[in-house]
Structures are given as C-alpha cells and as structure tokens.
C-alpha cells in the first residue's frame, strides 16, 4: 500500500507539471495535441527519476530499465493523446477539461505497466 501512495504522490507532481505546461502551451497558441506531447514529456522526465529512485527503488544495473520506462510512457502517451482527441474533437469538450480526464485514464495503465514490467515488482506492498 505504501508503494501505491508513493506512486500517487509522484503522479500528483507529474500531473501538475504536465497540466501546467499544457495550459501554458495552449495559452501561447500551440495546438492541443502538440501541447500534450511536449507537456507529457516534461512529466515523464520527472516521473522516471522519482519512480526509479523512490517509488520502486530499482537497481541501477537493471538492464533495459530506461527503455522499458520509455516504452510504457509511449503507450500511455498514445492512450492519453487518443483520449484527448476523442474528447476534444468528437465530444467537443474543452481541451483543458479533456486533459484532466485523459490523464486519469493514462495513470492507471501507466502504474500497472511500470509495476509489472518496467520495475518488475511482484507485490503491491513494500516500500
């Protein structure tokens, strides 16, 4: 349970970084898809550091850790961007409100893939 709480804490900061960056990029006229990709990338940089060192406490020697992390986040980015596209272009929701929903959708997938594959954690307890 502590690991989930740590992941949630990191997720809050990643979400703030992503959401604030996204909002700023929209305000300067960037298209919402481009703004999403850039803002998400900034959140990923923060996420990698904290998830590797604090949440999952992964071994620095673990082979392919960064590559796995990038793959998981590319999957999450695709899911997030597709959700955003559907919400904005088809449901005609505001891009900022849509981002809140899209982030929530991606967060669940991201946690499960990082826990089970990237950092290879078998249980949900621990540190």
d(CA 119, CA 11): 16
pLDDT band at 16 (very low <50, low <70, confident <90, very high): very high
Which pLDDT score, from 0 to 100, does residue 35 have?
Answer: 97
Tell me the pLDDT band of 11, cut-offs 50, 70 and 90.
confident
pLDDT digits (tens, 9 = 90+) for 22-42: 999 999 999 999 999 999 999
Q: pLDDT value at position 99?
A: 93
- Give residue-wise pLDDT tens across range 73-107: 999 999 999 999 999 999 999 999 999 999 888 88
Residue 125, pLDDT > 60, answer: no
The mean of the pLDDT values for the chain is: 87
The percent of residues in the chain predicted with pLDDT above 70, rounded, is: 90
């Amino acid at each position: 349970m502590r690991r989930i709480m740590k992941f949630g804490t990191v997720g809050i900061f990643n979400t703030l970084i992503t959401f604030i960056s996204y909002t700023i990029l929209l305000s300067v006229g960037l298209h919402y898809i481009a703004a999403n990709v850039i803002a998400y990338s900034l959140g990923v940089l923060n996420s990698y550091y904290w998830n590797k060192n604090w949440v999952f406490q992964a071994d620095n020697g673990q082979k392919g850790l960064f590559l796995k992390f990038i793959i998981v986040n590319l999957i999450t980015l695709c899911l997030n961007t597709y959700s955003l596209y559907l919400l904005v272009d088809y449901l005609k929701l505001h891009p900022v409100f849509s981002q809140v929903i899209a982030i929530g959708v991606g967060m669940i997938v991201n946690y499960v893939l990082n826990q089970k594959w990237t950092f290879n954690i078998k249980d949900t307890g621990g540190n």
